[in-house]
Amino acid sequence: MAPHWFSNHVAYTMAKYGMSMCVLGMAKEFESANIAVNALWPRTAIFTAAMEMLTGKESDQFSRKPEIMADAAYAILSKEPKQQSGKFLIDDEVLTAEGITDLKQYACVPENADKLMPDFFLDVAPEKLVEFAAEGSHAASLKKPQADAAGGKIEGLFKKIESMLSEEIVRKTGAVYEFKVKGEEAGTWFADLKNGTGKVGKGNPPSTADAVLTMDSKHFFDMFTGKLKPANAFMTGKLKISGDLQKAMKLEKLMGGLKAKLKLAGLTLFITGASRGIGKAIALKAARDGANIVLAAKTAEPHPKLPGTIYTAAAEIEAAGGKALPCIVDVRSEEAVRAAVKKAVATFGGIDILINNASAISLTPTEETDMKRYDLMHNINTRGTFLVSKECLPYLRRSRHAHILNISPPLNMEPHWFSNHVAYTMAKYGMSMCVLGMAREYESANISVNALWPRTIVFTAAVEMLHGKEGYSYARKPEIMADAAYAILSRPPGVSTGRFFIDDEVLAEEGVKDFEQYACVPGNALILTPDIFVNEKKAKL
């Protein structure tokens, strides 16, 4: 699951890994039926029409013939089913185990047998493939993208601070600061909190600084995001101050005020599946900051079994202090998604945060999963997440606070998470693979892409459908996911990306100790039902 195998072709990787997930699930599911399920993959490029398309006509010079895969497959299929199942086999390793020592016979050009082009998905740097790529071939896409000229985390932080300045902050502070930043993002910055409504920027301050602060870029960032207090930084030598020490220490109050304000006020969140459950809880949490919420969901009319519509949710968001834009959206429809994105941009001027929350679930074994249900899960979970992300990304690129957060699980590849519901696991893991790929692909664009998943079941309509009303007593409220999402989304982009967060771990890091408040029945806080895809339970929580 190395991110670089996702970043430049996440859609293909998800599709190919879906085949491999079938192996994990079906091998376990049909073990007792004595059915062997395995995978075979080549170590090097195999010269086929597909390989010629990817790397050019000359790629036969550095490829093997299809016969090596045929011989390896023959060796595998000749074994008794019970001998091996659930294995991911490499062609030349299979043949070596069979006693074959002459692998040169499989090279298209035997003289090049020792310098063949490695195939995708093996433990080799993707740049190795580029070395063999013909000019203009698809393999050129594997080259690492150049970094954007958008600047680093500190520049983004100053831009955010600039948007929050006010006469009140200037009146309370009354000082001009110069920041000499060392390390990865070295440079000089200033904050004029003495004149007018304040001003920040790169370079020397417009007037003589009252205090000059020198520190490493990492410590500087931690100080401005509330992780490091200025007084503590000074006492431990992480911060050096020259000039008016008393005015320098005013930063402590300033940072406290900015930390409270550097949240989601004025930002636009596009949330799928936001009419109820976790999606609505996240929307309401952001609305209390004064955020703009685009509710992208299907329920426009009251449902006989499910609470709420996009319009009732919109009313709650407005009442909470946010601005709401309800949009009727089926994430399977390109037209509907595209229209909602355009309407969001026309209404609010852009999109800063995307929450891919819409999901479909059916925990059925392979032979009991009809293809209509399979397609529903994959079209909503995997394809829907990819589609909505794709349509939002041009606007996320323009945002100074760009986040994508998928409500999807950590990629736990233990077979038992596949064996009884391989179709659902593949669909849900597709959302998580989007995280791996897009986090790497858009790293240079300063867009954070992460996943969030609950440790225990969260009582929603989907959980009630699976566990019945009695599931309520052993579940947590959606608010735990909302609070965890808020903590993640409040961080400046680039601080963490490509991460798979668990709700209570995020909150524990934020200093939350009372998790009983999130239990539907507080007396059951220690005997909650664990969610799927999570193995360990943190005893301290």
69 vs 59, 76, 80, 186, 306, CA distance in Å?
18, 11, 19, 52, 51
Q: What does the pLDDT read at residue 8? A: 76
Whether 281 has a pLDDT exceeding 70, the answer reads yes
Q: In the structure encoding, which two tokens stand for residue 12, read together?
A: 């293909």
pLDDT of 279 > 70? The answer is yes
Question: Confidence class of residue 154 from pLDDT cuts 50, 70 and 90?
Answer: confident
Q: What is the mean pLDDT of residues 188-210?
A: 91
Q: What is the mean pLDDT of residues 83-106?
A: 95
Domain spanning 268-454+478-510, CATH architecture: 3-Layer(aba) Sandwich (3.40)
Average pLDDT in the 380-407 region?
97
pLDDT of 172 reads 83
The residue type found at 527 is I
> What's the rounded Cα separation, in Å, for the pair 389 and 399?
14
Instruction: Indicate if the pLDDT at residue 141 is higher than 50.
Output: no
**Band of pLDDT at residue 102, cut at 50, 70 and 90:** very high
pLDDT tier, 525 (very low <50, low <70, confident <90, very high otherwise): very high
Residue 254 has pLDDT above 70, yes or no: no
pLDDT for res 537: 55
Burial of 171 (0-12, 13-18, 19+ CB in 10 A): exposed
Query: What confidence tier does 266 reach under pLDDT thresholds 50, 70, 90?
Result: confident
Rg (CA), the chain: 27
CB 176 within 8 A of CB 208: yes
- Is pLDDT above 70 for 9? yes
What pLDDT was estimated at residue 261?
58
| Res 457 pLDDT > 70 | yes
% of the chain surpassing 90 pLDDT? 63
Evaluate whether 250 touches 216 at the Cβ level (below 8 Å): no
Report pLDDT for 353: 98
**Degrees to nearest 5, angle at CA 366 with 361 and 368:** 75
Question: Which range, 21-30, 115-124, 148-157, is most confident?
Answer: 21-30
Measured CA to CA, the distance from residue 488 to residue 506 in angstroms comes to: 8
In this structure, what are the phi and psi dihedrals at residue 218, rounded to the nearest 5 degrees? -65, -45
- Give mean pLDDT, residues 294-316: 89
How sure is the predictor about 306, in pLDDT bands with cuts at 50, 70 and 90? confident
Which residues lie closer than 8 Å to 14 by C-beta, 6 or more apart? 6, 382, 386, 430, 433, 434, 437
Residue 261 C-alpha from the chain's centroid = 24
Residue 539's CB: how many other CB atoms inside 10 A? 5
Do 268-454+478-510 and 153-260 have the same topology in CATH?
A: no
The yes-or-no verdict on residue 494 having pLDDT over 90 is no
**pTM for this model (two decimals):** 0.72
Q: What is the pLDDT of residue 63?
A: 92
Compute the mean pLDDT over every residue in the chain, rounded to the nearest whole number: 87
Planar angle of CA 435, 441, 445, nearest 5 degrees: 110
For residue 406, the 8-state DSSP code is E
Residues 11-19 have a mean pLDDT of: 92
pLDDT at 252 over 90: no
Cα–Cα dist 289/274, whole Å: 17
CATH architecture of the region 153-260: 2-Layer Sandwich (3.30)
pLDDT of residue 135: 47
Per-residue pLDDT band for 144 (boundaries 50, 70, 90) equals: very low
pLDDT in the model for residue 152 = 55
pLDDT for 324 equals 95
What mean pLDDT comes out for the span 221-227?
Answer: 68
Residue 248: both structure tokens together = 């320098």
CB atoms within 10 A of CB 258: 19
Q: What is the largest CA-CA distance in the chain?
A: 82
- Which residue from 277, 411, 362, 341 is spatially nearest to 1, judged by alpha carbons? 411
Q: Give the pLDDT score at 53.
A: 79
Dist. CA 301–CA 58, nearest whole Å: 59
Q: What is the pLDDT of residue 541?
A: 39
- Band (475; pLDDT cuts 50, 70, 90): very high
Whether 447 and 492 have beta carbons less than 8 Å apart is answered as no
Q: Does position 282 have pLDDT exceeding 90, yes or no?
A: yes
Active-site residue list: 424
Superfamily, domain 3-128: NAD(P)-binding Rossmann-like Domain (3.40.50.720)
Q: Where are the domains of the chain?
A: 3-128, 153-260, 268-454+478-510
Query: In the numeric block, which tokens belong to residue 497?
Result: 């990306």
Inform me whether the pLDDT recorded for 124 exceeds 70.
Answer: no
12 or 50: which carries more pLDDT confidence? 12
At residue 226, the pLDDT reads: 62
Residue 160 above 80 pLDDT?
Answer: no
Buried b (16+ CB within 10 A) or exposed e, 296-330: bbbbeeeeeebebbbbbbbebbeebebbbbbbbbb
Report d(CA 276, CA 283) in Å as an integer. 10
Q: For residue 532, name the pLDDT band (cuts at 50, 70, 90).
A: very high
Query: Count of residues for the chain?
Result: 541
Q: What angle do CA 360, 366, 372 make, to 5 degrees?
A: 45
pLDDT-based confidence at 145, cuts 50/70/90? very low
Contact between 274 and 357 under an 8 Å Cβ cutoff? The reply is yes
Cβ–Cβ under 8 Å, residues 388 and 296:
yes
Mean pLDDT calculated for residue range 464-469: 80
Average pLDDT over residues 171-192: 89
DSSP output for 119-153? PTTSSS-THHHHHHPPTTSGGGGGSPPPPPTT--H
Please provide the DSSP assignment of 26-70 as one string.
HHHHTGGGT----EEE-SB-B-SHHHHHHH-GGGGGG-B-THHHH
**Angle 420-503-374 (CA atoms, 0-180°, nearest 5)?**
30
